[in-house]
Amino acid sequence: MLSPDSDRALESSEQDEFGFAGIARKLAPSLIAATESDGMVIGIEGPWGSGKSTMLNLLRKELPALNAPNLHIISIAPWLIGDGSSLVRTLIEAMADVLDTFDDATSSRWSRNKKTALRYGNLLRNYAAKTGRGVAPLVKLAGLFVPMAAAAGEGLDMGAGFLEKFGKAPTDADLKQAISERLKSLDVRFLVLIDDLDRLEPAQAVEVVRLVRSVADFPKVAYVMCYDRAVLAHALQIGLDVTNGDLFLQKVVQLTFAIPLPEPFDLRLSLREKSLAIYSEVNKRPPSSEELDDLRLAIDREGQGLRTPREVKLVLNGIRFAYANLAEQVYFPDVCRINLIKILNPPLYVWLEKYLSLRSVLVTGDAMIEEDERITLGTELKSLLPSSDATSIRSIWGLRRFIPTVRSADQPKDTVFDNESENEKRIMFQRKRLASPQHYRFYFALTGPKTVLTDAEYELLIDVAARDDLGQLKATLIDYIHKPRPLGKSWFEYIIDQFDYSQWQRLTAKQIRGMVLGISDVMQEMLMTADHKRPSMLNIGQKAEDSVREGLKRLRHLDPAIMTATLHTLWRDTRSLGWLVGEFYRKELQYHGRVGDRAQPEQLHALTGEQLDAAKPVLESRLAHPQTRLELRDTPHLPYFLFGWLEMSGKDAPVEWVADYTRDDANFVKFLLQMRSWSMSDRVYYPLRKANISTFVDWDQTLQRLGQIEAGEISGAIATDIAEIRQAIGEGKERGD
């Protein structure tokens, strides 16, 4: 079942799924009857892949079974033969061989002298030589085409009987009339089966038409031609330079039989049955009831456009090719969906690949999508899916069933990159759906996006997070901080962005505990890597704080006991003390209304009031330790930490620490550099604001001391630092300081 289908026409009725064998049995007697006429051309019509070649193969088996006397079946394939001259030769040689047997059997009855008898087999060959364009020169090749050509010479003299019959050099019309009379007199019939006319170039198609309606239009010869009417008519229109190829085809074909469309749902039922067999073979089990229902929905909806058995084969080949090696990375109903779209609506397939790739980098935060791009994508989508009927597969609402970020809207820009619910995010990721930014690329390129964690990497991360010893988790996270990533963000930034509400909802209590403690512990190292060339990194502390708060909110409801143990470890052992106080704890103080005017509803609190109060003495005890006070001098994002400390403990403790820290001039300069904030307009600015400094040291004394240091003997490095501080003070004044 996993081997690709070569899409060859069926050879036997045992393989027939769509009733072609029964049709062939009913059609065969009518074709035999057509050979009694003065010459007829019958067309078996159908689009590519509808089963015309299969029908012809089954007819080849049915026709001999009817035992029609003296019926000779000739099969020719113009697409394989190539040129028109060889086509004429193939047909005429087969007919001539039959006439030879009649010439041998009856020559004594219609000629007094066998040597002067007119050989109609050779007469037919001579006719082919004269009418098959470009063939006559071949007769010079010593009997390769006409056996007696070498003896007869270039005149193709067929013996004395020739002259007795015609009394002159015969014209093409004379030869054709003689052959026609001979065929009428004989009890012999020919049924010529011609396949693949719709594959021919225009000039070749014209030669076939010339053959069946002019050159070899004989009595008792019926032609059965298989073709796609629209394709052949177009080829004739070009090859003959006529205005209406279809009208011309009507003059050629006297009787047509259209390959019937399969009965409603036959193609979809066949696709469903074989798709399920593929799933079961790969997974060694049947699909779950949920997968089965979605598979049925996918095939019933996206499969509405199926018209031919070939389309079913092409879809199945796509499923076979991809799924066997990707079963762990994709969702099977979506594999069926995207392969149906690829075959039945290629422009939509191309659009989806582009859209989902852009959405992936948008979700990871690696790029922004400009409005012009949104308008272009939305306009294309509205053109591809114009229906306003929500139940139609040609509507955007139909696509939204499995790509939830598109929607029907009046403005093109509003049809794309719509918000999705947290539940939709969770489902798309967990089931590895086509709409998942982490998995979409598997459906198009057999490999995942380079900018996301693989499923294996993600599973390893949350697996080590569930362990009691978090050493490996912290080492892994630190590695992700420094590991190069194809786009701007570090892998750690990407992980923080991905651990939103929906991601935390998927984890167990132990996994949440591990990720909360792991992220919190390595934040200092992450913040230390933020440099002035990467302003986007400067808000990573806030992003991490938001993510950890979501994790704790989930843990508080999931397992209160593990929540209590997690907080105990967080306050006591987390190494990123500056981030913990300055960003995480400070935000909770604000949300509880303890400081500022940013109080939030209780459902937004990560901690209860009791938990918030319990943390304060533990954190203050750590901040009072002499070694910790020294280490705080290298705290990244120092203003966040100092204001967080101030809001937690009051002004005295942080002011005392700053005074102790800045006693040394070098540390004083370092402190001023650390206290710069940042803003961005035409470029990134790092202003030093008076309000930030004067909260902890007197502003006028700060300027006076800076001037004294500058006037003294200082190193080049200190001079450079002071120049940066002067620029920062100027930028701060420009912005209202």
Flag whether pLDDT at 347 surpasses 80.
Answer: yes
Which residue among 258, 282, 316 closes a domain? 258
Q: What is the predicted pLDDT for the residue at 415?
A: 95
Q: Is residue 29 part of a domain?
A: no
**Is 162 found in the same domain as 90?**
yes
Q: 412-463: per-residue pLDDT in tens?
A: 999 999 988 888 888 998 899 999 998 999 999 988 888 888 888 999 999 9
Q: Is residue 424 part of a domain?
A: yes
Q: Which residue has the tokens 């199926």?
A: 306
Interatomic CA distance for residues 484 and 463, integer angstroms = 23
The DSSP-derived string for 98-141 is HHHHHHHHHHHHH-S-GGG---HHHHHHHHHHHHSTTTGGGGGT
Q: 363-402: per-residue pLDDT in tens?
A: 877 778 899 999 999 999 999 999 988 888 899 999 999 9
Q: Is residue 278 part of a domain?
A: yes
Q: 3-14: per-residue pLDDT in tens?
A: 666 557 677 777
Q: Is residue 195 part of a domain?
A: yes
Flag whether pLDDT at 158 surpasses 60.
Answer: no
> Which residue type, as a one-letter code, is found at position 155?
G
Residues belonging to the chain: 737
CA angle 518, 540, 436 (to 5 degrees): 80
**Is 184 found in the same domain as 46?**
yes
Which residue among 597, 612, 646 closes a domain? 646
- Picking from 497, 352, 486, 474, the residue whose alpha carbon sits closest to that of residue 425 is 497
Interatomic CA distance for residues 737 and 735, integer angstroms = 6
**Is 439 found in the same domain as 413?**
yes
Q: Distance of alpha carbon 114 from its chain centroid, rounded?
A: 73
Classified as helix, coil or strand, 508 is: coil
Q: Is residue 241 part of a domain?
A: yes
**Is 240 found in the same domain as 94?**
yes
CB 635 within 8 A of CB 641: yes
The DSSP-derived string for 199-224 is GS-HHHHHHHHHIIIIIT--TTEEEE
Cα–Cα distances (Å) from 587 to 556, 574, 599, in that order, read 17, 17, 10
Q: Is residue 249 part of a domain?
A: yes
Q: What is the predicted pLDDT for the residue at 656?
A: 96
**Is 618 found in the same domain as 480?**
yes
Q: Is residue 5 part of a domain?
A: no
**Is 359 found in the same domain as 275?**
yes
Which residue among 445, 475, 499 closes a domain? 445
Rounded to 5 degrees, φ, ψ at 578 are -60, -45
Mean pLDDT of the region 87-101: 84
Q: What is the predicted pLDDT for the residue at 426?
A: 85
Interatomic CA distance for residues 372 and 380, integer angstroms = 12
**Is 188 found in the same domain as 44?**
yes
Flag whether pLDDT at 316 surpasses 60.
Answer: yes
Phi-psi region for residue 68, left (φ > 0), alpha (ψ -120 to 50) or beta? beta
Mean pLDDT check: name the lowest of 92-96, 505-509, 587-591: 92-96
- CATH code of the domain in which 122 resides: 3.40.50
**Is 689 found in the same domain as 630?**
no
**Is 273 found in the same domain as 252?**
no
Classified as helix, coil or strand, 483 is: coil
**Is 419 found in the same domain as 471?**
no
Mean pLDDT of the region 648-674: 95
Q: Which residue has the tokens 């029907």?
A: 408
Flag whether pLDDT at 80 surpasses 90.
Answer: no
Beta-carbon-side half-sphere exposure of residue 644 (alpha carbons within 13 Å)? 22
Interatomic CA distance for residues 275 and 299, integer angstroms = 10
Q: Distance of alpha carbon 420 from its chain centroid, rounded?
A: 21
List the beta bridge partners of residue 45: 227, 258
Rounded to 5 degrees, φ, ψ at 538 are -70, -20
- Picking from 254, 255, 200, 265, the residue whose alpha carbon sits closest to that of residue 227 is 200
Q: What is the predicted pLDDT for the residue at 283?
A: 94
Q: 255-258 and 679-680: which strand pairing?
A: unpaired
Which H or E run contains 193?
A: strand 189-194
Flag whether pLDDT at 150 surpasses 50.
Answer: no
Q: 697-733: per-residue pLDDT in tens?
A: 999 999 999 999 988 888 888 999 999 999 989 888 7
Domain span at residue 198 reads 39-258
Q: 684-685 and 221-227: which strand pairing?
A: unpaired
Phi-psi region for residue 40, left (φ > 0), alpha (ψ -120 to 50) or beta? beta
CB 263 within 8 A of CB 300: no
Query: Total structural domains in the chain?
Result: 4
CB 81 within 8 A of CB 87: yes
**Is 594 found in the same domain as 736?**
no
**Is 638 found in the same domain as 492?**
yes
Q: Distance of alpha carbon 282 from its chain centroid, rounded?
A: 21
Average pLDDT, the chain: 86
Q: Is residue 94 part of a domain?
A: yes
Q: 286-311: per-residue pLDDT in tens?
A: 999 999 999 999 999 999 999 888 89
Grade residue 226 by pLDDT with cuts at 50, 70 and 90. very high
Interatomic CA distance for residues 557 and 222, integer angstroms = 82
DSSP helix, strand, coil percent of the chain (3-state; round to 5): 65, 5, 30
